[in-house]
Amino acid sequence: MIACVSGAVTALTAEAAVVEVGGIGLAVQCAPATLAGLRVGETARLATSLVVREDSLTLFGFASDDERGVFDILQSVTGVGPRLAQSVLAVHSPDAVRSAVATDDVGALTLVPGVGKKGAQRLVLELKDKLGVSSGGGGIVRLPGQPGVGAWRHQLREALTGLGWSTREVDEALAAVGPEAEAAIAVGDTPDVAALLKASLRLLSRA
């Protein structure tokens, strides 16, 4: 198992970072929030999980060892592969996943693209007693970077696109939650991008 990689970031795409380790560039699949914290030319350390298939070797990267651990446990659930596990962690922090499972919060889990009510119920059922205790992180929804007055729209678009929603769906969601963001700006507040993402996911899940 490749538990972590550390080296200079040589390239970034919408889904992956290339980290140079010992003269070799490793492509590491990451969630939008993790990618947003990386910069080309800077050194990064990513906790990693290597997924081996007959026709591929895919390295998934995470901002913390806790995320990597939850990612591995999520794949123990029937029907959950690495892509879906990564989507869960793109929407919810590890502690939010623990909270949703502990409180049978099926609604929170259905915010993840690709997870319906039955899938969420299966996650709750099969993850009981597997996720351990809270690490103290909190935060149900995580967004790339720090939300700012002029950045909320870009951050929200990047997050929704990274979760697999189409351009049309993303545009509709942005239009729907835009008034809430503009209202915050009008009174001098910074838009709560995490709350906007949560609202967008609810709208898209109902569409």
133 within a domain of the structure (yes/no): no
Give the position of tokens 């795409």. 13
Among 20-29, 93-102, 105-114, 134-143, the range with the most confident prediction by mean pLDDT is 20-29
175 within a domain of the structure (yes/no): yes
What CATH code is carried by the domain that includes residue 9? 2.40.50.140
Q: How confident is the model at residue 4, as a pLDDT? A: 92
Residues 58 and 70 in one domain: no
pLDDT digits (tens, 9 = 90+) for 45-58: 999 999 998 888 99
Residues 45 and 78 in one domain: no
| Structural domain of 177 | 152-206
pLDDT digits (tens, 9 = 90+) for 185-201: 777 777 777 788 888 88
Residue 111, token pair as written in the block:
């915010």
Whether the full predicted model's pTM is greater than 0.85, yes or no, is no
Query: What is the total count of domains within the chain?
Result: 3
141 within a domain of the structure (yes/no): no
135 within a domain of the structure (yes/no): no
DSSP, collapsed to helix, strand or coil, labels residue 198 as helix
Q: How confident is the model at residue 62, as a pLDDT? A: 95
Q: According to the 3-state scheme, what is the secondary structure of 54-103?
A: CCEEEEEEECCHHHHHHHHHHCCCCCCCHHHHHHHHHHCCHHHHHHHHHC
Residue 178, token pair as written in the block:
């835009």
Q: How confident is the model at residue 51, as a pLDDT? A: 92
Between 3-7, 143-147, 186-190, 191-195, the lowest mean confidence (pLDDT) is in 143-147
Per-position DSSP letters for 129-174, written without gaps between them:
TTS-S--S---SS--SS---TTTHHHHHHHHHHHTT--HHHHHHHH
Residues 57 and 72 in one domain: no
Residues 45 and 23 in one domain: yes
Residues 101 and 85 in one domain: yes
Between 23-32, 37-46, 103-112, the lowest mean confidence (pLDDT) is in 103-112
Residues 38 and 52 in one domain: yes
Distance CA(79)–CA(21), nearest Å, equals 33
Name the phi and psi angles at 187, rounded to 5.
-100, 10
What CATH code is carried by the domain that includes residue 73? 1.10.150.20
Q: How confident is the model at residue 123, as a pLDDT? A: 93
